[in-house]
Amino acid sequence: MGPIPSAAADTPPEKARKVVAAGPARRGVRRRIADRVVATVVVGAMELIRRMPDAPLWWIGNVAGNIEYRVARKRRYEARRNLRRVVEWMAAHGVGDEMYHRAAADPHALEAIVRSAFRHHAHYYIELARAPRFDFQYLQEHMTIDTPDEVDAALAERRALILVGLHFGTIELPGFLALQRIGQVVAPMESLPNERVQAYMFRTRGVIGVRILTIEEAGPELLAVLRRNEPIGIIADRDLTGGGLEAELFGAITKIPAGPAVLATETGAPAYVSGVRRVGPGRYRGVLWPVLAPAGASRRERSRSMVREEARLFERVIVDAPEQWLAVFHPIWPDLERAGKSSTGDTE
């Protein structure tokens, strides 16, 4: 019995080429349709969340976070070991609430903080949708500023300044506070895989006064903005590009993005570290401190010194609520990564 003829063998060459070409085309069409469906669902959900009152969303965020805690094993492992380092440092230095000191020695207390981190992770996405609501009246009614003198001094007039934020608490609120005081703020944002969702994010931020840049265009444009004597905002607690500078953070060496320090050194613009944490349904507390730099130092040393000072101020922000630091879900310290790779692989 001879071989069974294949469909390709029976297909004329011209038709075969058309079949091959049609494959990627169909996949491209399916991908565009899928992206459109995802964007419709995501944007629709964000619009619904934006219109809902605070109280039920707090409950929804807690439920969603508890579910993610149960199913996201790798993320749970990463958060646990990063938070362990933070609370052990806090206990050793006697800073922060007593519950974090207990977590440094009690695995059950630590796990409660890990679970809380997942709930705050869910709240972050809810607040991402609700950002267009953060107008002046909302901030007046819902946010307490713990460092009013520093905020008043930093935001007394529109000028070139660098607002340095973290993946902490309500990430966008410091920028919204700044724009309410001094007008439009320019800020870079990581590109999203879905272009329609990204366009929605850019559009809603633009309505309230934040001009968003893609990472690709951020470098020269941020420099130009500062030279026009206008403010910018940068999230700078995770080194996403690998070009950061080394600094000690919670007792161990990591890399901090060099962007804010380099821009400050290049332009002379002052830099400030800020953070806003959640304290209840629709309730927030914010802090802001200046990043001090040595006078008379070389540009290189000035940048390195500013990065070290940023790390110190990041610690001051984070110790109030380490479970709200979203970077704990990602690699932070190289020594922990090396230890993890050399272990047995058990993530629990």
pLDDT in tens, 50-65: 788 878 888 999 999 9
Q: Which helix (H) or strand (E) holds 189?
A: strand 185-189
Domain that holds residue 166: 134-329
pLDDT in tens, 259-286: 999 999 999 999 999 999 999 988 999 9
Identify the residue with better confidence: 111 or 301: 111
Percent of the chain with pLDDT over 70: 85
299 belongs to a structural domain? yes
77 belongs to a structural domain? no
- State the pLDDT confidence band at 296, using cuts at 50, 70 and 90: confident
DSSP-based three-state secondary structure for 135: coil
Contact 48, 130 (CB under 8 A): no
Place of tokens 């903080």: 113
Identify the residue with better confidence: 10 or 294: 294
Overall number of domains in the chain: 1
28 belongs to a structural domain? no
Contact 267, 227 (CB under 8 A): yes
**What separation in angstroms does the CA of 263 have from each of 34, 245, 258, 296, 303?**
40, 14, 9, 17, 9
What is the distance between the alpha carbons of residues 120 and 143, in angstroms, rounded to a whole number?
17
Whole-structure pTM value: 0.85
53 belongs to a structural domain? no
pLDDT higher than threshold 80 for residue 208: no
Q: Which helix (H) or strand (E) holds 287?
A: strand 283-290
Amino acid 344: pLDDT: 42
30 belongs to a structural domain? no
Identify the residue with better confidence: 295 or 139: 139
Amino acid 25: pLDDT: 63
b/e 55-75 (16+ beta carbons within 10 angstroms → b) = eebbeebbebbeebbeeeeeb
Could you tell me the sign of the dihedral formed by the alpha carbons of 336, 337, 343, 347, in that order?
Answer: positive
319 belongs to a structural domain? yes
342 belongs to a structural domain? no
89 belongs to a structural domain? no
Could you tell me which residues are beta bridge partners of residue 168?
Answer: 325
